[in-house]
Amino acid sequence: MSTEKFESTSEGWDAIAQKFAKVADVLTAPYAVETLDALKVTSGERLLDLACGTGPLSFAAAKQGADVMAVDWSADMIAYLVNQAETNGLDNISAKVMDGQALELPDESFDVACSVFGVFLFPDFRKGLAEMVRVVKPGGRVGVTVWGDFEQIGHMRLWKEAILDLYPDAPDLPKPDGWKAMHDADGLERELQTAGLTSISIRPLSLTWTVPSPTWFSQNIGSCPLYDSYFEALGPDARDRTRERLFAQLEERHGESSFELTSQALVGMGKKG
C-alpha cells in the first residue's frame, strides 16, 4: 500500500481555515510565543510570518509591538487573519496571499523571519528556507519551529493508536520531506546551515495543552489535508471511521472532561551573515 503522497494545496488548507483557527488558539499559539521569546523580538522590528495560517504568531508579535507581514498561500487563512486583526485593532499587521517558496517581497527587508509549523511542510522546504534568508537583512534572525517525531506529539499519538486499532497493518503516517529532514536537532541545524545561516542554536520545546473534551478533539483535530491520500488508501470512509474510534477511546478514558496532552517541538534559530 503506497501512502507517500501529500495533498499540500492552497484549496486543501482553505477548506479547514475556520477549524484550524480553533486548534491554533490552544495548540500552536504557545509555541509561537516561545519562538518569539527565543528570537528576542522587540517592538519596532519588522517581522515576516511565513506560512502564517490563521495568525497565532502574527498576533503575538503584533501585541509585542513588531511590524508584522503575514503570508500564506491559503486565501481563507489570510481572510480570517485580516478579520481578526481588524476586530482586535491590530493595525501593525499586514497580510498577503503568497507562495512561501517564491515570495513577492524585496531582498533584505525584514529584521526577523519566522515560520511556526509551516515551512517544514512545503513541497520544496529548502526554497522556503532560502526565501526566509533572502528577505532578512544582514545580521537579521531566522526562526523555524518544527514538530519532532510522531511519538513525541500528543495528538498524533492518539490518532496513530486509533488507526492501528482499526487497521493493524496500516503503514506509518508519512512525513513530508521537510519534516523528515528537520525532525531532530541535528537535521534542523544542518538545514539552517545549508540555507546560509550562522550562529545557529536549537531550543527544544515540550509544552502541555488542555483539550476541552473528547468531543472537541474529535471534531477539530485531524483534518490536516496532507493526509487525505493516506486515509483514502486505507479504505472507504477511513478518516471518519478512525475519528469515531478515536472519540470512543477518549470518551472511555475521560468521559466528557478536559484532558492534557504534551508535545515536543524544536525551535531552530540563526543569523544572516
| % of the chain residues with pLDDT over 90 | 82
Read out DSSP for 139-189? EEEEEEEEE--GGGBHHHHHHHHHHHHH-TTPPPPP--HHHHHHSSHHHHH
Alpha-carbon separation of residue 181 from 145, 146, 164 (angstroms): 13, 10, 25
HEC readout, 67-90:
EEEEEECCHHHHHHHHHHHHHCCC
Predicted local distance difference test score (pLDDT) of residue 225? 75
More confident residue, 175 or 16: 175
Please provide the average confidence, as pLDDT, over all residues in the chain. Answer: 92
pLDDT band for position 90 (cuts 50, 70, 90): very high
Question: What's the CATH class of domain 10-272?
Answer: alpha beta
Q: What is the pLDDT of residue 6?
A: 42
Task: Tell me the angle at which helices 75-87 and 56-63 cross, rounded to the nearest 10 degrees.
Answer: 30
Name the residue with cell 482586535.
88
Q: What is the arithmetic mean of pLDDT over 150-160?
A: 93
Q: What is the mean pLDDT of residues 74-99?
A: 95
Residue pair 152/262 in contact by the 8 Å Cβ criterion: no
Element (H, E) at 199: strand 197-211
pLDDT of residue 223: 64
Contact (Cβ atoms closer than 8 angstroms) between residue 242 and residue 162? yes
pLDDT at 1 over 50: no
18, 11 Cβ separation under 8 angstroms: no
Mean pLDDT of 38-43: 96
Give the model's confidence band at 13: pLDDT under 50 very low, under 70 low, under 90 confident, else very high.
Answer: low
Instruction: Give the whole-angstrom CA distance, residue 259 versus residue 157.
Output: 14
pLDDT at res. 159:
93
Minimal CA–CA distance to 82: which of 101, 62, 64, 100?
62
pLDDT band at 40 (very low <50, low <70, confident <90, very high): very high
pLDDT at 47: 99
pTM: 0.91
Instruction: Provide mean pLDDT across the span 95-99.
Output: 96
Mean pLDDT (whole number) for 229-235: 91
CA 188 to CA 175: how far, in whole Å? 15
> Residue 29's pLDDT is what?
93
Tell me which residue has cell 550562529.
199
Residue 103: CB atoms within 10 Å: 22
Q: Which residue has the higher pLDDT, 213 or 229?
A: 213
> pLDDT digits over 109-132, tens only?
999 999 999 999 999 999 999 999
Single-letter code of the amino acid located at 225: P
Beta pairing class for 93-97 and 110-116? unpaired
Cα–Cα distance, 143 to 164 (Å, whole number): 35
% the chain with pLDDT above 70: 92
Distance from C-alpha of 59 to C-alpha of 80, rounded to nearest angstrom: 12
pLDDT in tens, 65-86: 999 999 999 999 999 999 999 9
* Statement: residue 5 has pLDDT above 50: no
Could you give the angle at which helices 154-166 and 238-254 cross, rounded to 10 degrees? Answer: 110
Give the pLDDT confidence score for residue 4 in this predicted structure.
Answer: 43
Report domain extents, the chain. Answer: 10-272
Q: What are phi and psi of 211, to 5 degrees?
A: -85, 125
